[in-house]
Amino acid sequence: MDTTQEVYVDRDEMLDAMRLRAHLTAHTQLSDAGREALAMLSHTQQRTDEDMARLVREAAALDDLCDDEQDIVAIYAARVALIDTFRDYTG
């Protein structure tokens, strides 16, 4: 008896869920100032389609955050960049 089942998962829905999870993880670990910086970066990235990692490198708003919060935002940016790379992958 074959007990394997195929499960269909929409790739875009899965990537959207991964992006939301990355955002929520970062959001829960940041101060109010960190959350504001994260929201600003996310909003800018969605409106301009800029690379999140580049936005993080150039964001002056992050200078006011402690090193730990800067790391949290950088990790978030890396996750978003990876998710976006998979979203753009057509192979």
**Sequence ranges of the domains in the chain:** 37-91
The arithmetic mean of pLDDT across residues 42-51, rounded, is 85
* 89-to-15, 70, 82 alpha-carbon distances in Å: 12, 29, 11
**Does position 85 have pLDDT exceeding 80, yes or no?**
yes
Task: Please give the Cα distance from 74 to 45 (Å, whole number).
Answer: 14
Highest average pLDDT, of 8-12, 32-36, 80-84, comes from: 32-36
Pairwise pLDDT comparison (59 vs 35), residue with the higher score: 35
Say what the pLDDT of residue 3 is.
65
Structure tokens at 62: 């992050």
The DSSP call for residue 25 is: H
Buried b (16+ CB within 10 A) or exposed e, 3-12: eeeeeeeeee
